[in-house]
Amino acid sequence: MEWPRISIVTPTKNADLYLEETIKSVIEQDYPNFEYIVIDGCSTDGTLEIVRKYESYLAYWESSPDGTLYEAVAKGFKRASGEILGWINADDIYEAGAFEKVAGHFMNHPGHQVVYFEDTVEKDGWRVPNRPQPERIGLGEFLCGHIIYQDGTFFKRSAYERIGGLDISLKYAGDFDLWLRFSEKYPLYKCAGHASCFRVRPGQLSIGNWDKYLEEVEECKIRFSKRLPVVRKKKALLSAKLRNGVTRLRTKLRKRYWPIANEGSRWFPVIHNADYSVRDCRCPVCSENPHRLLFSTPDTRFGDRKIWRVYECCNCRLTFTFPRPDDSTLQALYERSYSGDIKGCCPPTKGYYSPYQCRSIYHYQTILRLKRLFPFLHQRRWLLHDDIVPIQEPHDAAILDVGCFEGRILEHLRNKGYSNLYGAELNRKAAEVARSKGFSVSTEDITRSKWPNKPVDAIILNQVLEHVGDPIGFLKSVCRLLSEKGSLYLSIPNYRSAFVDYYGPAWAHWHIPYHFLTVSPHTLKIIAEKTGFKIKWLRTNTPIHYAYMSDALGRFGLGGVVSHNIDPDAPGFRREWENAKGVTVFSRLFLDPFLRGDCLYARLVRNTP
């Protein structure tokens, strides 16, 4: 099918600090049929230089005096030729795959005239999902003053022309007036996912003049209500009340949505990431654009303040980090952080809001009592307290531990009677430590080397796959070292964990930016099939240090730091460590049978006929 033409207009004046990123977010959309128009209001800063830099990507641009923001948008729409219209201000940006989501919705629902997204907000460097929106909005919601996000709203040209277009006499609330008049003739439908980002900055027309915006909203409502029949108005308000009740219930039941608080406070300071292209924001398994943004976070393990974003792919049910550091940057981070002087826990700096703080799970006394009711369950012979995947191989089997670090797993296997052990580790400092323990360890890239120069009976990827940018390509390269009947053992953080629902972005094993992806059992099945394997068995577990770290970070929020350098015998730690045992027992009894524990273990074998 032919993709419908989308026309985007950007009104701008003296926005050189933000405009370039806005333009790039439009022209880098992977969409084959769109046009972009920029209308400038005689800027006196560097705005025109930026526009000329990208002139070849624009269908039209001009710089001339205009009266209001909405006059500039209306001028752009008159020049547009697209079937679908939208506008984005010079300080906002589109998320990856925005146009494809819009066009896909209109193609699948040809009767819809206006659609909107929930979208995201960027504040003080942090990017988070905006408030939830109803599945459908009608006249009643707008008569009650409901606000939708202008940058994430798209409509058909025919509907825009039928209602008379924008009211250019309005200075602040011209968008609300347009939605209000739309709703008189058409219901507005929500599109799933996120399409754009509203950036909060000093001097914004809407945020900086919010009282005046609301005043114009009231004026629009009064003016509109005067010509609206009373019966129509009462019916619309009743329908809106019923839909609002449904929306509140859906929000409470909604998974993987964590509401944000303290929007007016100064958030913990972070460092904006380097330039990136939204074109590169794709799922590492299916290569599709992500469905939505989950949250953004700095490094809460070692304290680096650079901000990263986490997106969700609904096709594969995984999350991935964007932008991903290049391999050389990651290698330097590993050697500096993992092999350096690791600090302990650091609470957030006073005076700043630390996002995504939550109540300690130890508040629920029933969980703490479980370790006393079932003391045998938190003994090591019943429950693994670490994240080492259990293997089932003869003691003389050749076993390769990829990403062996300092040889912890190799030591564990040697103590169990395994003798034919090999390791691979890119971190040279960690590899030297493993060699000093008597193990044969290679520091070459395992995807290119032939180490250990013979087929092995088992390959262990213990907390490795989540660090990889191309998991399918990586597994195909590594498994060429595996014998025909060999097994692949995996240990990886579980995106389907119940503790992800509870702690949200404060779940300790997002571990951004070191962890690039987090998978669910469904994702692991897709990856196995694409690499020629099948899952022999699958189970979960919540190691005690996972439980401790998540709860500590939940109390701190993302402005704090909780490292994995934990000493259970240190003063002040013993009680917390004992409390964490109750969580591991809870996971063993109620979560692991349903694959809802923190750590996902799997054994993969070749899918031979």
The answer to whether residue 37 scores a pLDDT higher than 90 is: yes
Q: How far apart are CA 25 and CA 27, in angstroms?
A: 6
Average pLDDT (352-381) is: 74
List helix spans (H) across 374-427: 408-415
User: Which residue from 447, 412, 441, 415 is spatially nearest to 429, judged by alpha carbons?
Assistant: 441
The answer to whether residue 383 scores a pLDDT higher than 50 is: no
**511 alpha carbon, distance to own chain's centre:** 13
User: Which residue from 465, 290, 302 is spatially nearest to 387, judged by alpha carbons?
Assistant: 465
pLDDT at 120: 92
Cis peptide before 513 (omega within 30 of 0): yes
The answer to whether residue 138 scores a pLDDT higher than 50 is: yes
Q: How far apart are CA 540 and CA 600, in angstroms?
A: 5
pLDDT at 527: 95
Average pLDDT (211-230) is: 89
pLDDT at 381: 45
Average pLDDT (213-234) is: 89
Average pLDDT (115-133) is: 89
Q: pLDDT of 345-354, one tens digit each?
A: 888 888 889 9
pLDDT at 373: 67
**226 alpha carbon, distance to own chain's centre:** 45
The answer to whether residue 572 scores a pLDDT higher than 70 is: no
Length of the chain: 609
The residues facing 395 across adjacent strands are none
The answer to whether residue 581 scores a pLDDT higher than 90 is: no
Sole residue written with tokens 């009976």: 457
Here the tokens at position 344 are 């302990």
Q: How far apart are CA 300 and CA 309, in angstroms?
A: 13
Sole residue written with tokens 């006249």: 139
* Contact between 563 and 346 (Cβ < 8 Å): no
Query: Which has the minimum average pLDDT: 171-175, 351-355, 579-583?
Result: 579-583
pLDDT at 384: 44
Q: How far apart are CA 314 and CA 256, in angstroms?
A: 12
* More reliable by pLDDT, 542 or 254: 542
Here the tokens at position 593 are 């049978």
The answer to whether residue 26 scores a pLDDT higher than 90 is: yes
Q: pLDDT of 307-337, one tens digit each?
A: 999 999 988 999 999 998 887 888 788 777 7
Q: Would you call 244 exposed, middle or buried from its count of C-beta atoms within 10 A (0-12, 13-18, 19+)? A: middle
* Contact between 65 and 57 (Cβ < 8 Å): no
Confidence of residue 367 (pLDDT cuts 50, 70, 90): confident
pLDDT at 1: 67
pLDDT at 385: 47
Q: In order of start, what are the domains of the chain with their CATH numbers?
A: 6-250 (3.90.550.10), 265-272+279-398+455-467+480-609 (no CATH), 400-454 (no CATH)
pLDDT at 450: 81
* Strand bridging mode 421-424 / 308-313: unpaired
Contacts of 208 (CB under 8 A, 6+ apart): 202
Here the tokens at position 59 are 């269908």
Please report, for the chain, how many H helices and E strands are present, in that order. Answer: 18, 23
* Contact between 203 and 99 (Cβ < 8 Å): no
The answer to whether residue 149 scores a pLDDT higher than 50 is: yes
* More reliable by pLDDT, 191 or 254: 191
The answer to whether residue 29 scores a pLDDT higher than 50 is: yes
Q: Would you call 64 exposed, middle or buried from its count of C-beta atoms within 10 A (0-12, 13-18, 19+)? A: exposed
pLDDT at 382: 43
Average pLDDT across the chain, whole number? 88
Q: How far apart are CA 41 and CA 33, in angstroms?
A: 27
Average pLDDT (470-494) is: 93
The answer to whether residue 567 scores a pLDDT higher than 80 is: no
The residues facing 87 across adjacent strands are 9
Here the tokens at position 30 are 């992977």
Average pLDDT (107-130) is: 92
User: Which residue from 499, 495, 491 is spatially nearest to 550, judged by alpha carbons?
Assistant: 499
The answer to whether residue 87 scores a pLDDT higher than 60 is: yes
Query: Which has the minimum average pLDDT: 260-269, 427-436, 438-447, 519-528?
Result: 260-269
Q: How far apart are CA 495 and CA 283, in angstroms?
A: 15
The answer to whether residue 53 scores a pLDDT higher than 90 is: yes
Query: Which has the minimum average pLDDT: 85-94, 284-293, 445-454?
Result: 445-454
pLDDT at 374: 65
